[in-house]
Structures are given as C-alpha cells and as structure tokens.
C-alpha cells in the first residue's frame, strides 16, 4: 500500500506541477533568452512534431497507450519496485495527453535554440525522460533481489 501511495502522489504531483507551469504560458507568460526562450508553442504531433498528420486520432492513440501502460503497471505489480519513476512517467504522460484534449496540442514552452532551432519541450517531457533513465538504470544495474529504498 505504501508503494501505491508513493506512485499515486508522484503521479498527481507531476501532473499538477506540469499543468500549473503550462497555465502560466497559456495565460501569456514569455521570456526571451540567449539560448533558451520561454514561449508558448502548441505541438500537434509527438517529439519534433512527428505524426502531426494523424490529427484528432493522435490524442486517442496516446490516451489508449497511457491506459494500457497504466493497466499493465497495476496488473503486473511493477509499482512495488518502480513506484516513483512510474509515477513520474505516467504523471508526465497524462499531462501531455490532457493538453491534447483541452488545447488540441501539447503545451510546450522551453524553446532551446543554441545550435539548432527545433527543440521545444515542457516539464512533463523532462519528467518522462527522467523516469525512463531511472527505469533503465534500475533494470540494468540493480537485480530484482536488491532492496531499493
């Protein structure tokens, strides 16, 4: 039960932080910088706007993928070992899927333009990236028998 609480509160916290930051940019916040601009962008696709041509279907595909991941995580008991990173992963994923239904695109706001001008991302993307790296480290460097605290 403790691990489920960790999972739930990390997921909820990630979602709330993500949506709170995004609301600042939807309401008009803007800040230009030398290498990074904090400016509102709506991404109609996935990473680097791929699959934007799927239009309205993309949000339903992503919602189904998140639901399947959620189901597998709960059914297979992965929360017992990976509560925190899975909470980060699903909290970020839900934040981005929520954007697709409310804003018709993911709200991105960190525009990195040192060396290239096409990387725009948000807090949810960072949470998902951290979760994936965390999970990979746990899978490859810690055995199932080791207790992680």
- Rounded CA-CA distance 3/98 in Å is 25
Catalytic residue among 18, 37, 99, 125: 125
Residue 136 three-state SS: helix
Tokens of 53: 């041509």
Active site residue 145: no
Q: CA gyration radius for the chain?
A: 17
Tokens of 126: 């960072």
Catalytic residue among 99, 108, 129, 145: 108
- Rounded CA-CA distance 125/109 in Å is 11
Active site residue 108: yes
Q: Would you name the residues annotated as active-site residues? A: 108, 125
């Amino acid at each position: 039960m403790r691990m489920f609480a960790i999972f739930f509160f990390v997921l909820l916290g990630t979602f709330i932080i993500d949506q709170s930051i995004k609301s600042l940019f939807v309401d008009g916040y803007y800040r230009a910088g030398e290498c990074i601009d904090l400016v509102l962008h709506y991404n109609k696709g996935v990473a680097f706007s791929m699959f934007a041509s799927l239009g309205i279907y993309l949000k339903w595909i992503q919602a189904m993928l998140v639901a399947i991941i959620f189901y597998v995580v709960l059914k297979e008991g992965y929360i017992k070992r990976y509560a925190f990173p899975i909470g980060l992963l699903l909290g970020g994923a839900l934040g981005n899927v929520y954007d697709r239904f409310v804003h018709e695109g993911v709200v991105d706001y960190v525009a990195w333009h040192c060396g290239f001008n096409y990387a725009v991302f948000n807090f949810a993307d960072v949470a998902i990236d951290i979760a994936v790296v965390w999970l990979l480290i746990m899978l490859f460097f810690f055995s199932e028998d080791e207790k992680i605290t």
